Amino acid sequence: MSPDTPALRHIALDPVMARIIAETPAPKIFNEYADDLYLALLESIVSQQISVKAANAIFGRFRALFPDNYPEANALLLKTTEELRSAGLSFQKIKYLQSVATFSLEKSIDRAHVDPMTDEDIVQYLLPIKGVGRWTVEMLLMFVLDRPDIFPIDDLVIRQRMMRAYPEQTNGLTGKPLYKVLLQLAEPWRPYRTTASRYLWRWQPT
């Protein structure tokens, strides 16, 4: 595919990314919960460390516990552990979901409140929720809030793909030295690092 947007034209100034873009189908962008950050947070917690198929099944059963399939915060906090366990949720994830509900009652998670914040402000705003780490918020920034310049360096697939794409720069590196080089390699992609990351996820190295 040839670059035909400002983001693709900019990223393609990096010859390695130009090759990846050329041989990779355009990534699909899912914004199923674009207007509901609260529900997106609940879904992201349910999805942690399990397959997409399992996550969809559990989240569907979880939502079915509530009127109109919507887990209002007060209603969620009134559910017993046994009721929530019946959806297939672990004890730990139940605590995390309850933490999201409590947070939403104490502070706003509405788009109108969050949208004016910077990317890093949103990360720091949501990190106090149990079960929500930087990676989780970065996924929300990329796929729910559609922020254009997110580089999720903590994502294992992103690191693996970049090491495949830039073997000379990354060979033998681990830990902080690897992170430093990856950040440097991604720097020229600003302000479109989200688009570059989406292509790296979909790229299938040969």
Exposed, middle or buried: residue 32 (CB in 10 Å: 0-12, 13-18, 19+)? Answer: exposed
146 catalytic per annotation = no
Pairwise CA distance, residues 154 & 97, whole Å: 23
Pairwise CA distance, residues 90 & 93, whole Å: 5
Pairwise CA distance, residues 65 & 86, whole Å: 9
Contacts with 118 (C-beta within 8 Å, 6 or more apart), sequence order: none
Which residue of the set 36, 119, 149, 155 is catalytic? Answer: 155
Cα separations in angstroms, 10 against 13, 17, 21, 97:
6, 10, 12, 39
Host H or E run for residue 32: none
Which positions are catalytic? 155
